[in-house]
Amino acid sequence: MKCAICSKKTEHLELHHIIPKSRGGSDDASNLVKLCSVCHGRAHDVSFSNDRGGLIKEGVTRKKIKDEVAREWLDKNQALVQDKMMDLYSRNEDKHMLLLLLLEGGIFRPSYIKEWVECGKVSFKTSFTFS
C-alpha cells in the first residue's frame, strides 16, 4: 500500500480524517485518506499542503461534491423523500420533529438525507444545541 501524499510504500498506513470528526467529519471513506506516519503527522499541521492544494481543502472539496450529487439526487427523488418523512412522522413524531430542526439548522446535510432514504439509517456527529 502507498501513502496518499508521498506515495511511500508501507504496510503501516494510518487513516486520517480529512475533515476532523470534531468538526463534523464522518468515518465515511470519502473523508478518510491513508497516510504514512510522517505524512500523518504533517497533515495535522494546517500549513501542510500537497499538489492539490492541501488535505483540508481537498476534503472540503470532496464533501461539497458529495453534497452536490446528493442535491441532484434529492431533486429527482422528492416523492421518495416525502414518503420517508411521512413514514417517520407516523412512527415517531419526536424523531420527525428533531429531524426537521436539524434540516432547518443546516446540520442534516443533503448527503445525510440521501443516505437515510437509501439505507434506512444514518449517523453523524454535531454540536447542535438547544437554547
Among residues 45, 32, 40, 30, which one has the least CA distance to residue 6? Answer: 40
Which pLDDT belongs to residue 14?
Answer: 87
Q: Residue 42: how many CA atoms within 13 Å on its side-chain side?
A: 15
Among residues 48, 47, 53, 25, which one has the least CA distance to residue 35? Answer: 48
Which pLDDT belongs to residue 117?
Answer: 92
Is the distance from CB of 88 to CB of 76 less than 8 angstroms?
no
User: Which pLDDT band, with edges at 50, 70 and 90, does 85 fall under?
Assistant: very high
Q: What is the pTM of this model?
A: 0.54
Structural domain contains residue 8: no
Which pLDDT belongs to residue 76?
Answer: 96
Structural domain contains residue 58: yes
Which pLDDT belongs to residue 43?
Answer: 75
Mean pLDDT of 104-122: 86
Which pLDDT belongs to residue 127?
Answer: 61
Neighbours of 56 (CB within 10 A): 16
Structural domain contains residue 6: no
Q: How many structural domains does the chain have?
A: 1
Structural domain contains residue 9: no
pLDDT in tens, 20-63: 877 778 888 888 888 888 888 777 665 455 566 666 667 777 78
Please give the residue range of the domain that contains residue 106: 14-119
Structural domain contains residue 71: yes
User: Which pLDDT band, with edges at 50, 70 and 90, does 118 fall under?
Assistant: very high
Lowest-pLDDT choice from 62-66, 72-76, 124-128: 124-128
Structural domain contains residue 2: no
Structural domain contains residue 82: yes
Structural domain contains residue 5: no
Q: Residue 17: how many CA atoms within 13 Å on its side-chain side?
A: 10
Distance CA 10, CA 44 (A): 20
